A and B are shown apart, each in its own frame.
Chain A
């Protein structure tokens, strides 16, 4: 158990290191932060001065160590756009809104996909299965930002049930959560369906049936129990995937004050310190959640060997 944990931690550290290298190389070496800070009319002397003030005239390796030393402490410097605010501070402020959106979205997706997937798996290739399969394919064929706009047009502007944008109440949350949820629900329904089909074809189901266990009880108490771990694992992966950038466009459409909207603004403003902090923090959260999922997986399923 301990070696497993140590191995997974070491692996996570390598990933974090990799993310830092990519972020450093793209924003520092390919991009030129000094140019971005200065107005277009700045002279060459101003430019040189700015470069040395930012430490950009140091050797690359030295710059990288300073960068990593800062990153470890969560210090990426101040925002290039919002001078005086720490880049990491801006990102941390935005985390709760994104977590709320992703929790609501993935939770809703699971609430839709588990019953839908079981219903479809009960009778493969029946009419109901075909309808559910087609709907789930449709779910992940529509990009979430388009879904977001259609939801706004129909339910906020047309019917006036919800707000078009903003944050705070349940009436703000419903539409963005649905926009995040439907594509996820589409993918998860397919997975629940195929996992449940596998379970339904196992001998123990035939045994249960021959004992006279009712069909709903077979589905929920027998098959779903055995399928629960892979389904929950997939739910966890969907959660981290949404965190790692998939909500950006939804946040932009709904003006949702999360890390995704911040990332999109920072990119358009070329606010590289905020981008660095954003990517770094999101990467860490994603890794921590994945680590927890892996650990739960080994705890919940005694068949999984910890290697």
Chain B
């Protein structure tokens, strides 16, 4: 086992909440990857006779549909498992695209400084001031809903935070003696950026990416709920909750199941992110212990 991994696991063992959160996130990842094998049935197979069944412990529930069925008689458990796929896939793609783009821009701005920095920072500021969610709704209304378009819109909307973070971190890393040493030793700019600066941004970026992943999953659910996101026959928790709205008063269960699936995943991701931040940031730790004394 590499050293860093064993030290991370050691930290993890000391924090039971973080252990639980990491386990939950892993479970969701596995469920999303293995959906076709572990889901009890096809998420889109309808059964009008067996519609609106309760969960198996309820009266009228059956083990064939452990969490019951929705208004079209579709198996809720299968839909929840497949819903994890859409959310996580969209989330990861957006984080990958927006994260790469934003980080590279931010590092370049911070490292080069001067005019390059001014231009990049100005564009970042301006776009941050846009009413992003409203524009996302507008763009989706025009180019049409769907998973690909969601990824495009979220990526266009979400790179700024990486750019800002990477820039400010680069500004302080740039002044470190080892960068100066690398420069004096004749390293090329590209080697310095990719070999020395970006590896030092890693822990900050991992925290940020985890938080952003949670945020994108929430945003996907909102847009799917509003009808401009994931569309049937694809399955998404936001879409399931939208379908459940009509039955909110008679069958609140239909809201609770996808709602809980969504909230638990996002909560676990946020717990993981806040844990990564405290183990990666010794300054934060020492402040907390001073304030405590």
Contacts and interface: CB of A to CB of B under 8 A. Distances in A.
Contacts of A142: 259, 263, 266-267
Which interface class (under 10, 10 to 19, 20 to 34, 35 or more) fits A? 35 or more
B249 A153 contact: yes
B111 to A, nearest CB: 22
Interface string B224-254: 0111100000000010010011001100100
A22 B135 contact: yes
Contacts of A22: 130, 135, 139
Interface majority SS on A: helix, strand, loop or mixed? helix
B17 A134 contact: yes
Interface string B129-156: 1111111111111110000000000000
Contact of B287 (A11, A201, A248, A283): A201
Nearest to B128: A15
B131 A245 contact: yes
A198 B281 CA distance: 14
Given A137-B270, A146-B259, A198-B287, A19 B225 contact: no
A267 interface: yes
B226 A275 contact: no
Interface majority SS on B: helix, strand, loop or mixed? helix
Residue among B138, B266, B271 with the most chain A CB within 10 A?
B138
A207 B138 CA distance: 55
Contact of B255 (A15, A19, A26, A150): A150
B134 A141 contact: no
Interface stretch (A41-49, A82-90, A119-127, A297-305): A119-127
B125 interface: yes
A136 B271 CA distance: 10
Given A14-B126, A201-B291, A282-B134, A252 B226 contact: yes
A112 B238 CA distance: 28
B262 interface: yes
B263 A197 contact: no
Interface stretch (B53-61, B95-103, B214-222): B214-222
Nearest to B241: A146
Nearest to B130: A19
B274 interface: yes
A27 B141 CA distance: 9
A238 interface: no
16 contacts: A15-B129, A18-B130, A26-B138, A137-B271, A141-B270, A142-B259, A143-B262, A157-B249, A245-B131, A248-B134, A248-B222, A267-B138, A268-B227, A279-B138, A282-B131, A286-B131
Given A245-B132, A279-B138, 11 more contacts: A19-B130, A134-B17, A141-B214, A141-B266, A143-B238, A149-B245, A194-B284, A245-B134, A267-B137, A268-B227, A290-B129
Interface of B: 17, 125-127, 129-143, 214, 218, 221-222, 225-228, 238, 241, 244-245, 248-249, 252, 255-256, 259, 262-263, 266-267, 269-271, 274, 284, 287-292
